[in-house]
Amino acid sequence: MKRTAVLVFFLASLAVAAAQPAPLITNIANRTTISLNGRWRTIVDPYDIGQEARFFLNAKPHDPGDLVEYDFDTSPLLNVPGDWNSQRDDLLFYEGTVWYKKSFSYHKRERTRVFVYFGAAALRATVYLNGTKLGSHEGGYTPFNFEITDSVREGANFLVVEVNNRRRAEAIPSLSTDWWNYGGLTRDVLLVEEPPVFVQDYFIQLAKGSTTEIVGWIRTNGGSPSQQVTIEIPEAGIRHTVTTDPSGYAQFRFAAHLTLWSPRNPKLYRILVSGGGDRIQDDIGFRHIETRGTKIVLNGQPIFLRGISMHEEAPYRGGRAFSADDDATLLGWAKELGCNFIRLAHYPHNEGMVRLADRMGLLVWSEVPVYWGNAWTNPSTLQNAQDQLRENITRDHNRASVILWSIGNETPVLPARTEFLSKLAAEARELDPTRLITAASDRVERSAPLTRTVNDPLAEFLDVIGVNEYLGWYEGRPEDVAQAQWKTMYAKPVIISEFGAGAPYGNHGSALARWTEEYQANVYEQQIRMLRRIPFLAGMSPWLLMDFRSPRRLLPGIQDYHNRKGLISDRGQRKQAFYVLQRFYRELAQ
């Protein structure tokens, strides 16, 4: 292509208004998709010259006089899904821009709409199809999609994605975190094919306060108004039809007598939703969650949450976890530990993880990355937090395992922060009134050397209060822990959402010597003695299941850029504390 032609094409592409992501399509696992996963060409762009050089055009010199200073087709390959940090040693600490390019062939079909769907792109992405900008997305852990029906070509196409994981003060998460800043296309990239009118999203759950009535809504996309949509639960003999309004939306309510989902019996029903020429299936469990005073109540019975916290870190190989094998390994370890509950910290984990929790009977705390300090008074920061919360809830609002939406972790007690998080709590309740709202706080009142009082003003806006405490590690010694007394200012359930101690697997010594397995096990033993005496305790999720990478953890020979508080090493080796907690959970399960 000549220089003048390139310029004309570039200016024309700028004239096309870049759309925001289309409304999110849910239940991707049960739709017609074409995978774009695999090997993508990549250009590392630390000085951000790609926009000026117009990498998105994927230009080629057509004669010796053409100057094109990049070439995707001779550039290195990276696997998608996957983070770039763990695939190349020289990118382990890299923060900046990487351009991804994928060529694909597509055969267009009549009466078929096409979307390109990203499970996640960390942390910000701008997407181009055949040189034309589709739009941008910010938020490294939630899905987004663009409609490409009119822009995808018959035959050869190319997709270019500019991905940037550079930390920013006004972003969510902000500048400082205690996990690895993995960048890249870390989850599936798919083409999704739909009929002209399709079921975009639906919410099918038990009515709040009921175990015999289903309520919800359906939203269709495309076509004329007043579509008839039918919900079927064949196993329960249920068939219910509604008519959508001009926007494609309809609510419903009907009686249902179902076997309730629980950790002991994770019953899922096959659901069929059809309308406008579309038909989609899903597997949904039905359970009721509420609080009564300081108790968490599942299906009318108090339940103690025997949990563990976990990062989305791949066992054995390292890097971002994304595969079904990763999910099965991590959740299998949680079940072996005796858990009925997992805290998915500190951001939304992949959808497959939550669906597997549905099948395995593990209750889920799902969190957005509002973490430590943030730009609390910045409207765009709040908007981005709300966007990520909405995308997380939209993706997983039909998963029975999810009982808690968490709006933050260890945020400072400031009026601006409390106002910020109160708006997230209100947003979550509006989007999903059937689940509980929580957040993890490390702010407690110290009225005596070993007396701690839960007293964070954010608790006013929560249903369940999470408390992170590290008695015996960051505060005091193991022998102090069992003597600690806990009080609360709120008649609400409290989960000790973090406690723990660090130890590399195989490092042995005295139970009073830091960094030994014996010290870690001692902390757990003393913590359990303390936790038994907290009358308002509704659950616990110690920190954490498996060691994970963190750039804050610098101690050579011990941490080596890993947080070593895992009960299991990143190579799958169980530490002594694993068995201490396992014994306690087996006792509680009786």
Domain of 148 in residue numbering reads as 3-194
Determine the pLDDT at residue 470.
97
Q: In whole angstroms, what is the distance from residue 586 CA to residue 233 CA? A: 36
| Domain end point (choices 235, 266, 287) | 287
138 assigned to some structural domain: yes
User: Which letter does DSSP use for residue 327 in this model?
Assistant: H
CA distances from 463 to 208, 359, 427, 459, 497 (A): 14, 26, 14, 8, 14
Same-domain status, 338 and 443: yes
Same-domain status, 525 and 400: yes
What residues have CB less than 8 Å from 57, skipping those under 6 apart? 6, 9, 10, 13, 131
Same-domain status, 185 and 313: no
| Domain end point (choices 267, 287, 307) | 287
Q: In whole angstroms, what is the distance from residue 118 CA to residue 132 CA? A: 17
| Domain end point (choices 287, 314, 332) | 287
Handedness of CA 353, 356, 362, 363 (dihedral sign): positive
Edge-to-edge strand list for the sheet holding 278-284 = 238-243, 228-233, 269-275, 278-284
Determine the pLDDT at residue 9.
37
CA distances from 520 to 227, 345, 470, 551 (A): 60, 21, 12, 22
137 assigned to some structural domain: yes
201 assigned to some structural domain: no
Same-domain status, 10 and 133: yes
484 assigned to some structural domain: yes
What residues have CB less than 8 Å from 219, skipping those under 6 apart? 23, 199, 200, 201, 202, 244, 247, 248, 249
- Tallying the residues shown for the chain, one arrives at 590
Same-domain status, 323 and 186: no
Amino acid at 581: L
* Residue 282, domain CATH: 2.60.40.10
Same-domain status, 380 and 271: no
* Residue 482, domain CATH: 3.20.20.80
* Tens-digit pLDDT profile for residues 364-392: 999 999 999 999 999 999 999 999 999 99
498 assigned to some structural domain: yes
User: Taking the chain (590 residues) in consecutive chunks of 10 residues, what is each chunk's mean pLDDT?
Assistant: 38 46 96 98 98 97 93 98 98 98 97 98 98 98 98 98 98 97 98 97 94 96 86 97 94 96 98 95 98 98 98 97 97 98 98 98 98 97 98 98 98 98 98 97 89 96 98 94 94 98 98 98 98 97 98 97 98 98 96
Edge-to-edge strand list for the sheet holding 295-298 = 289-292, 295-298, 301-302
Helix ranges, 490-562 (H): 517-531
The tally of domains found in the chain comes to 3
Determine the pLDDT at residue 19.
63
205 assigned to some structural domain: no
Q: Among residues 358, 356, 381, 357, which one has the least CA distance to residue 370?
A: 381
Same-domain status, 245 and 358: no
Neighbours of 544 (CB within 10 A): 21
CB 461 within 8 A of CB 421: yes
Same-domain status, 423 and 569: yes
435, 437, 440, 444 alpha-carbon torsion, rounded to 10°: -130
CA distances from 503 to 84, 144, 311, 528, 531 (A): 28, 39, 17, 18, 22
* Tens-digit pLDDT profile for residues 390-446: 999 999 999 999 999 999 999 999 999 999 999 999 999 999 999 999 999 999 998
Determine the pLDDT at residue 13.
41
461 assigned to some structural domain: yes
404 assigned to some structural domain: yes
- Looking at the chain, the number of H-run helices and the number of E-run strands are 9, 33
Same-domain status, 555 and 432: yes
Same-domain status, 297 and 278: no
What residues have CB less than 8 Å from 331, skipping those under 6 apart? 342, 353, 356, 357, 360, 362
CB 462 within 8 A of CB 488: no
Same-domain status, 257 and 390: no
The partner residues of 34 in beta bridges, in order of sequence, read: 191
For 325, list phi and psi in degrees, rounded to 5.
-65, -40
Same-domain status, 488 and 379: yes
